[in-house]
Amino acid sequence: MKKIMNHPDQVVEEMMTGMVLANPQRLQRIKGTTVLSKKTIPNAKKVALISGGGSGHEPAHAGYIGKGMLDAAVIGEVFTAPTMDQIYAAIKATHSGHGVCLIVKNYAGDIMNFDMAAELAVTEGIDVEQVVVKDDVAIEDSIFTTGRRGIAGTIFIHKITGALAEQGATLQEVKRIGEKAANAVRSMGIALSSCSIPAAGEPTFTLSDSEMEVGIGIHGEPGIERMEVASAQEIARQLVEPILADLQLGKGAEVALMINGMGATPQMELYIVMKEVHSLLEKREVLIYQSFVGEYMTSLEMGGVSITIFALDEELKHLLNEESDAPYFRV
């Protein structure tokens, strides 16, 4: 394992320091915590939006802090849910009396810790609601989850809820739109190569020189099938078909599309996948309203790609287009 780091135990701490130093006008660290937030919290005009999870998925989630997206991101150790006390600290720091909405990827550790933090805050009179994202159609249950996993589609939920919160919507309205968006988004990915957790020092899994893992999780957890590396066209088909089978879009349906690199995938390959997905959607008369190609939800230096399809209606389209100044999400 080769990494640019100082000490495996310090990577998250030093990353957070670097993030704040790179964005001094934009970001702050809540003192004594692993929470990064906007500088303008608590914001008395709006519902506070918090997400988070294990680190190693950057730019998720700190890269989505900004106007029209998140108020704060709670950062766990690499591929490890943030602890309850950190999530609680984020709630305390951001709430302004308009309530707090937590956006949580569906992993057992995250669910448990976000739940406990929310309950504690509620006992103190803070209104807290949660939106759980379960967009990965690859598998129903996994070693880390009951039900589907939450992956790259989560970024669209940040965007949609963030836009509505910015307009001064109530906590219940923000929760409603978050759940509506979460119900309309599906993802699936493949990996060509593994990644190493710094403290582990070894690859999380191994693939031979000719294999890929279909339905990979964002922590390197197994998917549904290991097979010979297929063509871009075939990979696109293997990912788009299960998504569309689940989403059941009619002809003329409009979607936002995300082609997400897992960490080590050249943009060149992502755009080749873009071409193939476009072709598959065109055949089914599904219209791409907007495309996002890049690294949005990574798994350290894993090679691979995930595809996210987000079914839009007029309300979601409008919110997707609203301004955001989060550094890693550009509409």
Distance of alpha carbon 144 from alpha carbon 221, whole angstroms: 9
Distance of alpha carbon 205 from alpha carbon 201, whole angstroms: 12
- Please state whether 58 falls in left (phi above 0), alpha (psi between -120 and 50) or beta: beta
Does 291 interact with its own copies (rule: CB under 8 A)?
yes
Scanning 9-17, 35-43, 97-105, 144-152 for contacts with its own copies by CB under 8 A, the matching segment is 9-17
3-state class (DSSP) for residue 15: helix
Does 218 interact with its own copies (rule: CB under 8 A)?
no
Q: Which is nearer to its own copies, 177 or 264 (CB)?
A: 264
The closest of 242, 277, 295, 275 to 135, measured between CA atoms, is: 242
Planar angle of CA 10, 15, 16, nearest 5 degrees: 105
Q: Please identify which residue in 52, 53, 54, 56 interacts with its own copies, judged by CB under 8 A.
A: 56
Does 162 interact with its own copies (rule: CB under 8 A)?
no
Distance of alpha carbon 331 from alpha carbon 322, whole angstroms: 8
> Listing from the earlier edge strand, what are the strands of the sheet with 27-29?
27-29, 35-38, 72-78, 48-55, 100-105, 128-133
Q: Which two tokens stand for residue 277?
A: 């997905």
- Rg of the chain taking only CA atoms, in angstroms: 19
Whether 57 is a known active-site residue: answer: yes
Does 73 interact with its own copies (rule: CB under 8 A)?
no
Does 295 interact with its own copies (rule: CB under 8 A)?
yes
Q: Please identify which residue in 36, 49, 90, 212 interacts with its own copies, judged by CB under 8 A.
A: 212
Q: Which is nearer to its own copies, 108 or 288 (CB)?
A: 288
Q: Which is nearer to its own copies, 206 or 248 (CB)?
A: 206
Whether 219 is a known active-site residue: answer: yes
Per-residue binding string, its own copies, 233-252, x by CB under 8 A, is: x-x-----------------
Q: Please identify which residue in 77, 136, 213, 301 interacts with its own copies, judged by CB under 8 A.
A: 301
Active-site hit among 7, 158, 219, 318:
219
What sign for the dihedral angle of Cα 170, 175, 178, 180? Answer: negative
Q: Please identify every residue annotated as catalytic.
A: 57, 219
Catalog residues that contact its own copies under the rule CB under 8 A: 2-6, 11-12, 14-19, 21-23, 55-56, 58-59, 63, 78, 192-193, 209-210, 212, 229, 231-233, 235, 259, 263-276, 278, 288, 291, 293-295, 298, 300-301, 303-305, 327-328, 330
